[in-house]
Amino acid sequence: MPKAKILSPEQAARVQPLDATTLGRPFHQLPLLMPLIEARVHEFVRSELSQRYRAALVLDSMHYTREVSTCPRWSWHRVGSSSIGVHIERPLLLRILDCRYGGRTAQTDAPQTEQPETETEFRLARMLGATLAPLLPEFIAQSCGDTPLPLPPAQHLPVAPGSTPVFALILQLSENDGSPCGAIRLSLDRDSLDRLLRASSTHLAPRPASASGAQGPHFGETLRLRLQARLQPQSLSLGEVLDLRVGQIIPALHPGSAHVHIGRSRLFRASVVEHEGRLCLTSFTDEE
């Protein structure tokens, strides 16, 4: 029997720890959504920032993180059932103010972030936050198809909501000449993140083949678990059971979710989606 290899402290420091909260959840599909979300962000920056405020701003990069640290400069908004946090870095906010009111015309003039914050900055941050907040909820609603569009206008919340943000989209903006301006952060609560993960199941795409054409072992060949999914209970009387014939069809509705068992233990609740003519389980969540 092979022995387990004991790593040195230096090697162990380079090993990425396993996040147990991501197990059974399609976080690996989020990169499929990023180009679709990025297209919406590009349009927002062009129409709502560059044109409206006469600012030569472009989206430099976009990425997401599950480590969200909030501060007093966040603005909070309610969009439908989602609680959205918006944080605009002060250098970017001051740059937008300069372009709007002509305070500084040269791009090389850096905003004076050491000065005390003004009420004008707070008003602009709240106004931009109300415009930015619907970006992700509208994308999620359109992808899932479970919420009527258009969504109601964003409602400003005077204090942070009770639900803790667990996901943040970070937008890095720069000038047309490439000089960085600052970042915008959009945070989601746990319920909104679950809906975003469900939206990712509607954008399944085949993985591109590697350049060498070599395929590694399929995930199902490396880890085997026997899952039993209870899609929908059906109650029949004894007389109805006795009247059944071989090949007879029992009508049933498409289930929206299923209980997943491993052995006799019910561990997960999963969404049921149709993909290429098959019923698939995705968006696993722990049973309470």
Structural contact between residues 75 and 129, judged by C-beta atoms closer than 8 angstroms? yes
Tens of pLDDT along the chain (288 residues) come to 455 567 677 776 776 666 666 666 778 788 888 888 999 999 999 888 888 888 889 999 999 998 887 777 899 999 988 899 999 999 999 998 888 776 554 444 544 567 888 888 889 999 999 999 999 998 888 877 767 778 888 898 888 887 788 899 999 999 988 889 999 999 998 888 888 888 877 655 444 554 444 556 665 566 666 767 766 777 888 888 888 888 887 776 666 788 887 777 778 888 887 777 777 888 888 776
- Under CATH, what is the fold of the domain 23-203? Chemotaxis protein chec (3.40.1550)
pTM assigned to the model: 0.62
Burial of 60 (0-12, 13-18, 19+ CB in 10 A): middle
User: In Å, what is the CA distance from 200 to each residue of 33, 160, 205, 287?
Assistant: 6, 27, 10, 21
Structural domain boundaries in the chain: 23-203, 227-233+254-288
